[in-house]
Amino acid sequence: MEQEITNVESKPKKSWLRWVLYGILVLVLMFIAVQFFNAAKYEALVQVIEEDKIGVNPTGERLDFGDLPRDKSAVRTVTLESKGNTATYVMVWKFGAISDFMKVNKNYFTLEPGQTERLEFNVHIPNSAEYKYYKGKVWVFQIPKIW
C-alpha cells in the first residue's frame, strides 16, 4: 500500500490588506487623540442655594455660574476664533450633573476662516433642583473641515 503525497498549493495570504487596514486604524486613532488633546476643556460649576440672591464668581478658565436660587438663570460665554486658512467644524459636549441644567446657543456648526463666534452657556435652575453643588465638564472641539 503506497501513499501518495501531493503538494497542495495554498492561496497566498493577503497580509498586505491586513497591514493597510491596521495602518488606517492607527491613523484614525491618532486623529481622534489629537482632537481630544486639542479640545478646549472647561470645568462647569453652579451651587443651588435657598436664599433668593445670586452670587457671582469671577470667571476665568472655568464656566462658573456662581450661586443661584431655584428658578433663576446665569450665562457665561466662550469666544471661538478661526485663525487658520481652513474652516473648522465645532462640537460642544457637556458632561456631569450640571449638563441637565445647561444649554448652549450653538452647537455642531462650521466656523469659517477668520470668523469669530461667541458661544453662550445658559444654566437655568429648575424648582425641583436639590440645594447642592452641580459640577461637570464642557469640551469644545474644533475639527479641521476637510470634507
Domain boundaries, the chain: 40-144
Report the range of poorest mean pLDDT among 30-39, 51-60, 94-103.
Answer: 51-60
Which residues fall within 8 angstroms of residue 79, CB to CB, at 6 or more apart?
A: 116, 117, 118, 119
Q: Per residue in 115-141, pLDDT tens?
A: 999 999 999 999 999 999 999 999 999
State how far the Cα of 90 lies from the Cα of 143, in Å rounded to an integer: 6
- Higher pLDDT, residue 68 or 62: 68
The residue that leads in pLDDT, 38 or 113, is 113
Measure Cα distances from 48 to 52, 64, 91 in Å. 10, 12, 28
| Sign (positive or negative) of CA dihedral 124, 128, 130, 134 | negative
Please determine, looking at this structure, whether the domain spanning 40-144 carries the CATH number 2.60.40: yes
Query: Going by DSSP bridges, is the β-strand pair 63-69/40-49 parallel, antiparallel, or unpaired?
Result: parallel
Q: How far apart (Å, rounded) are the C-alpha atoms in residues 131 and 97?
A: 13
